[in-house]
Chains A and B, each alone.
Chain A
């Protein structure tokens, strides 16, 4: 056993992380197409063992849900192999336990997804979405910890990242996670768009949520809207989602400017912070497009994936900054 850089292990961890990211995208498509309940049974699919479900029956909503289940099984398998590999071949106890944590989390996630179907509980989709995001961060963190950069950085001189900047990035990252929880709650209301205009909201800066106003919004939804009627809670939730988005944007602008000031424009973490800002700008654009497209499935799913990427960049930035800080401390 050793803790030297092991390319095969690292690339396997990357494969697991990328597959997990794709799984989140596919999960996003399932919800965007309202296909979560299109396969009423679990772990079977229409009575078949899911691995031999006939191809000619992969139609409509079944295509998304069944593909999601198969890709989830692949992620489960990859994560199991990764946990065993880390346990056997990496000497760092903490990363061995991270592998075990990932293994347990992927099992919990699979059961959550199954119970959401078996128990017909919409709200279980929210923790299912939240665990998915947390699991993605964990898988990417494992890939980072097994990377050459992480293990060789002890020998390289690093510019330390001030504690204040690290705390700021951690706060913004946690805020993004909260934002993803809000988004998951919105999506699992299955009510379509609670507010169908942007940047205004029902033609106002802050929409009225009186019973009369809600009745009026429902009466004037676009023709063809077939989701549940919207409620005052859903309108308020979308407004909170918008406000938190603006707060995150400002937080990342501050992070990028601070990183440039404290670390210099050429520093990798400063560049990474600007990439984060670009990603968030794209994300806000996609949020607007989601509204303007009346929640088109592909646009909404892209919004989900870029949201996951924004969380991921914040988490990885913070981990790399923390690594630098610990190395700088060790050299003192």
Chain B
């Protein structure tokens, strides 16, 4: 009986927390002209890959800046709140190899969250992870082959996935041990959902442009915070 009361109390507390939690939203902007990207010309050297690009070869996507100056692929997260991962119950994240490129190139997941790597290409790939905190792995993935499944136990930023068969293919997976993070979209917008009220340090990290932080306070209606990056 006493145990049931405790469970009910905790559940009620959790529901109340959720009810009072807010979203952190914002827009990431880029100041100045978008830096030049480089054409991935080696794609044209591989006949199988070249066939997927009858026109010009695709370009690197180091700085994805919209016409209005919004910056994509920035990872925004709360700092200093470790050990709250709910990755095991989170939705599966997916990385696809399509057109001899990783799609998306930048994603973020939680520790214990399932990450599926697909091969939608008519060519063979190897999926080589180059972590700094988690174990390294290198697996074959034939065309039409089964999906590969990954989970990571330790948090780390920009864990590199690469294909050594096609050395221009990269994706960077950031792993958090909490659910309070987001990746800015093509419109520069991000939203971190269900953040309990309180004061936090919000961190925005771009792989090439570095890191910025802001002190914020989340109230019942959430918080709004933007960042502006520039290439120095």
Interface residues of A (CB under 8 A from B): 33-41, 46-47, 57, 59-62, 65, 117, 120, 219, 223-224, 226, 228
Given A40-B138, A40-B140, A226 and B168 contact (CB-CB distance below 8 Å): yes
Q: How far is the CA of A57 from the CA of B163 in the complex (A)?
A: 15
Q: How many whole Å from B137's CB to the nearest CB in chain A?
A: 7
A35 touches B167 (CB 8 A): yes
In the complex, which of the residues B36, B38, B138, B166 contacts A60, with contact meaning CB atoms closer than 8 Å? B166
CA distance A40 to B32 in the complex (A): 43
B60 lies within 8 A of A224 (CB): yes
**Docked-complex contact B60 and A41, CB < 8 angstroms:** no
Contacts of A34 in B (CB 8 A): 164, 167
Closest Cβ of chain A to B43, distance in Å, is: 10
* A34 CA to B162 CA, complexed, in Å: 11
Interface string of B21-59 (1 = CB under 8 A from A): 000000000000001111000000011110000000000
Tell me whether chain A's interface is mostly helix, strand or loop, or mixed: loop
Distance between Cα atoms of A39 and B210 in the complex (Å): 34
- Please tell me which one of the listed residues B123, B124, B142, B232 contacts residue A219 in the complex, with CB atoms under 8 A apart: B232
Most chain A beta carbons < 10 A, residue from B38, B123, B126, B165:
B165
Q: Are A61 and B137 in contact (CB under 8 A)?
A: no
**Residues in B whose Cβ lies below 8 Å from that of A47:** 140
A223, B37: Cβ atoms closer than 8 Å: yes
- Chain A neighbourhood of B138, CB < 8 A: 37, 40, 117, 120
B window 121-140: CB within 8 A of A: 123-124, 126, 128, 130, 136-140
Residue total for B at the interface (Cβ-Cβ under 8 A): 31
Q: Is the CB of A60 within 8 A of B46?
A: yes
Indicate whether B170 reaches chain A with its CB closer than 8 angstroms. yes
Decide if B62 is an interface residue (CB 8 Å cutoff): yes
User: Which label, helix, strand, loop or mixed, suits the secondary structure of the B interface?
Assistant: loop
Chain B residue nearest to A222 (CB atoms) is B38
Q: State whether A59 and B126 are in contact (beta carbons under 8 Å apart), knowing that A35-B164, A47-B140, A224-B38 are contacts in the complex.
A: no
> Cβ of B208: which chain A residues have Cβ within 8 Å of it?
219
A219 to B209, CA, bound (A): 8
Interface residue ranges, B against A (CB under 8 Å): 35-38, 46-49, 60, 62, 123-124, 126, 128, 130, 136-140, 142, 163-168, 170, 208, 210, 232
A selection of 5 A-B contacts at a CB cut-off of 8 Å is A34-B164, A35-B167, A40-B139, A46-B124, A57-B124
Pair B140/A46 contact, Cβ less than 8 Å: yes
Asked whether, in the complex, the Cβ of A59 is within 8 Å of the Cβ of B123, the reply is yes
Residues of A within 8 A of B136 (CB): 120
Using Cβ atoms and an 8 Å threshold, which residues of chain B touch A62? 124, 165
Would A61 and B140 be within 8 Å (CB), given that A219-B232, A223-B38, A223-B62 are in contact? Answer: no
Across the interface, do B165 and A59 meet the contact criterion of CB distance under 8 Å?
yes
Report A-chain residues with C-beta under 8 Å of the C-beta of B123. 59
| Chain B residues whose CB sits within 8 angstroms of the CB of A228 once the complex forms | 130
- Interface pairs A-B: 9 shortest CB-CB: A224-B38, A38-B164, A60-B165, A40-B138, A37-B164, A38-B165, A61-B165, A61-B164, A120-B136
Task: Check B124–A36 contact: CB distance below 8 A.
Answer: no
Q: Are B126 and A223 in contact (CB under 8 A)?
A: no
Shortest C-beta distance, A30 to chain B (Å), equals: 10
Instruction: Report the minimal beta-carbon distance from A59 to chain B, rounded to whole angstroms.
Output: 6
Q: Is the CB of B137 within 8 A of A120?
A: yes
Residues of A contacting B47 in the complex (Cβ-Cβ under 8 angstroms): 59
Q: How far is the CA of A328 from the CA of B52 in the complex (A)?
A: 69
| Most chain A C-beta atoms within 10 Å of own C-beta, residue among B126, B130, B136, B139 | B126
Which residues of A lie under 8 Å from residue B36 when comparing CB positions? Answer: 223
The chain B residue with its CB closest to the CB of A219 is B232
On whether A37 and B37 interact (CB within 8 A), knowing A59-B48, A120-B136, A224-B60, the answer reads no
B37 and A46 contacting across the interface, CB-CB below 8 Å: no
Cα distance A61–B163 in the bound complex, in angstroms: 9
Report the nearest B residue to A60, measured CB to CB.
Answer: B165
State the Cβ distance, A305 to closest chain B Cβ, in Å. 21
Q: Which residue of the partner chain A has the closest CB to B47?
A: A59
Nearest residue in A to B37 (C-beta to C-beta)? A223
Least Cβ–Cβ distance between B134 and chain A, in angstroms: 12
The reply to whether A59 and B38 form a contact with Cβ atoms under 8 Å apart is no
Contacts of B170 in A (CB 8 A): 226
- Are B60 and A61 in contact, with the CB atoms below 8 A? no
Asked if A33 and B167 sit within 8 Å, CB to CB, the answer is yes
A284 to B40, CA, bound (A): 30
Q: Which residues of B contact A65 (CB under 8 A)?
A: 164
Q: CB-nearest residue of chain B relative to A117?
A: B138
